[in-house]
Structure 1
């Protein structure tokens, strides 16, 4: 199978943000996406260039165009979210974003009536029905197809950094899971989701996709939902590891981190470097540690088992990437990361809100509503 890859001229940027629609009376998820998208679509038919359906009717995904800077992506998202928010308000609904909704039971949710979602349900049954999860995806342009797989492999060393920063799913159907990111474990249940296989190059990727399609494991390569994957049509590497994030500051942080890392790896390949490929056992263990402990995790730094607090690893990474961030005009966004870690990741803020209210989780939804509203300021 030949898979065409559309190279990017530079490390461009695109962001996808999955938003939850919440009933303002009950604080439960509410299935209004058809009505919201119809209200904001130019022709009233639900087709909007930057807002899309997702699996659940309680979710609207907003997407940017092709951006050159994090600031441009941030402004793009804010404009679309403002449209979605206004339409939702007319239906007595608000917007939040977190990896999981703290209280809503997935069995109460309506599926979007599109063929691809029906096919997903038919193949995966309850594993798909339970996908009441929400994330942030960051696309970074890559300048040649032969670079995509080495960059995917190298980025696997930073899975715990992204997951610990973004972890926002401690609760599931009204219970504390004990994890910082329960979303990441729910999604792994699908056979083509989770950590990618570490392939040798673009040819190996083509052969693997061909085998999956030929064996009817998938219909198209769009159904491979790896935590980090090449996106041939866009000419990007897509990081899908992050939990949903409630504020533009947090979106900007992970977008800046992703763009800087991809730019660094792309340039290193130009200079003849062989990019690092962390051992699969190390990647899997570090993902688990970030999912379980979030910013309190100690991650493994080498094959001999040395460990480092993930917070220290993130601080070191920010320092290393600052020269690249200056070139990409995202220094301010990258420097938000230490301040946001000091404030606490979303899972920590959610647990603090519950603790302050005798364990009640409706106040957690209230917190997420407030953070989304206040966090949309440019």
Structure 2
């Protein structure tokens, strides 16, 4: 199967996908209400889409093509409000967060869709363990070679994305000591991790042809990379974010990606290099484990510094791009949380410390998701 041609898209356009939890309102465990939720949502006229995910207590919402993070927020808020109304009719709640704190994977049901059945047959119990929840951000690229070069430049900021979005400290009822435990589940899949280091689309096409000849890969969907090209959309797709607890934070993360994309495409501040990946997995682990308290190894200089310090430096560097892209408010939201050393994982732990019951943590997360919903 040949790789799809890289579609022309508007440079720095945005698209956001959020995987969300459906929970009951008596003990706040996951509830298999995806089919009912989708039925109610089909009656709504909304931007973007609402679709099923791997197991029946998950749904995925997505925006249409947006040109600013403010537009992303507007679309996500409309979908959020409709979800909350539908959930109230069903007597359930909708939550963000990268993992459900205490759900048991063996109790999950695979959603009845051909691709999900195929994945379940291939991956066995890993499919049910894939009841995890992420945010994906697409950023438009003017051509295929720019997409690959932007992808490799963006790889230096994978730890930043992880720490800013981390919201999965609890798994199967236990505090994992990770801020983002979700990505440990993603790493179990054989085609996860990083993309190959190629900077020309012709070389990527050759790589894809080799992979399809092995029979391991049929389409780009089979790659679970942290960042992957999406030629049919003319974008690169960043996949390491945990789903935040609010749509406001989701839009702010998209603002950060868009500003980085502008810096990379317009200023070309450094040449991507294969050696950038020498510290990639270490930096990724640090961010998953320690969140904003991680140590970051700069791939260019080899300098060790706090990730929080490097994040604050990046906000300063991106300020001019934020002004032209109307992204200042989004970066300000993230900056404030970094200065406080506070992400969603820390908020969830604070709720547990107060309530001493993970069911109450989920209830509060549901309230936070709907806080401004009408």
| TM-score bin, normalised by smaller chain | over 0.9
Deviation readout 1:301-360 (Å, 9 max, x if unpaired): 1466421111111111011001011111111111111212326111111111111234x2
Aligned partner of 2:366 in structure 1 is: 369
Structure 1 residue 345 and structure 2 residue 346: aligned? no
Cα pair distance change 1:367/1:194, threshold 3 Å: farther
8 Å Cα contact 1:282/1:303 also seen in 2: no
Cα pair distance change 1:300/1:220, threshold 3 Å: same
Written as runs of structure 1 = structure 2, the 5 A alignment for 1:175-194 is 175-194=174-193
SS in 1 for 2:279: helix
TM norm structure 2 = 0.94
Cα distance between partner residues in 2 of 1:31 and 1:114: 15
Q: Give the one of 301, 321, 325 matched to 1:324.
A: 321
Cα distance between partner residues in 2 of 1:301 and 1:375: 39
Deviation readout 1:113-142 (Å, 9 max, x if unpaired): 111111111111122221010011111100
TM norm structure 1 = 0.93
User: How far has the Cα of 1:376 moved from its partner?
Assistant: 5.1
Gaps of 5+ in 2: none
8 Å Cα contact 1:166/1:346 also seen in 2: yes
Structure 1 residue 298 and structure 2 residue 299: aligned? no
Aligned partner of 1:204 in structure 2 is: 203
Q: Give the one of 300, 312, 316 matched to 1:315.
A: 312
8 Å Cα contact 1:42/1:48 also seen in 2: no
Cα distance between partner residues in 2 of 1:373 and 1:152: 33
Written as runs of structure 1 = structure 2, the 5 A alignment for 1:110-125 is 110-125=109-124
Q: Which 10-residue stretch deviates more, 16-25 or 365-374? A: 365-374
Structure 1 residue 161 and structure 2 residue 160: aligned? yes
Cα distance between partner residues in 1 of 2:237 and 2:274: 17
SS in 2 for 1:60: strand
Aligned partner of 2:11 in structure 1 is: 10
Gaps of 5+ in 1: none
SS in 2 for 1:139: strand
Cα pair distance change 1:200/1:237, threshold 3 Å: same
Aligned partner of 1:137 in structure 2 is: 136
Cα distance between partner residues in 2 of 1:254 and 1:49: 18
SS in 1 for 2:371: helix
Aligned partner of 2:29 in structure 1 is: 28
Written as runs of structure 1 = structure 2, the 5 A alignment for 1:243-262 is 243-262=242-261
Cα pair distance change 1:43/1:296, threshold 3 Å: closer
8 Å Cα contact 1:14/1:65 also seen in 2: yes
Aligned partner of 1:215 in structure 2 is: 214
Deviation readout 1:79-105 (Å, 9 max, x if unpaired): 112222211221111010111000111
Written as runs of structure 1 = structure 2, the 5 A alignment for 1:249-288 is 249-268=248-267, 274-275=271-272, 279-288=276-285
Cα distance between partner residues in 2 of 1:14 and 1:107: 33
8 Å Cα contact 2:104/2:172 also seen in 1: yes
8 Å Cα contact 1:138/1:239 also seen in 2: yes
Cα pair distance change 1:265/1:48, threshold 3 Å: closer
Q: Which 10-residue stretch deviates more, 12-21 or 188-197? A: 188-197
8 Å Cα contact 2:47/2:79 also seen in 1: no
Written as runs of structure 1 = structure 2, the 5 A alignment for 1:79-118 is 79-118=78-117
8 Å Cα contact 1:157/1:277 also seen in 2: no
Written as runs of structure 1 = structure 2, the 5 A alignment for 1:38-53 is 38-42=39-43, 50-53=49-52
Cα distance between partner residues in 1 of 2:301 and 2:11: 36
RMSD (CA atoms):
2.1
SS in 2 for 1:65: coil
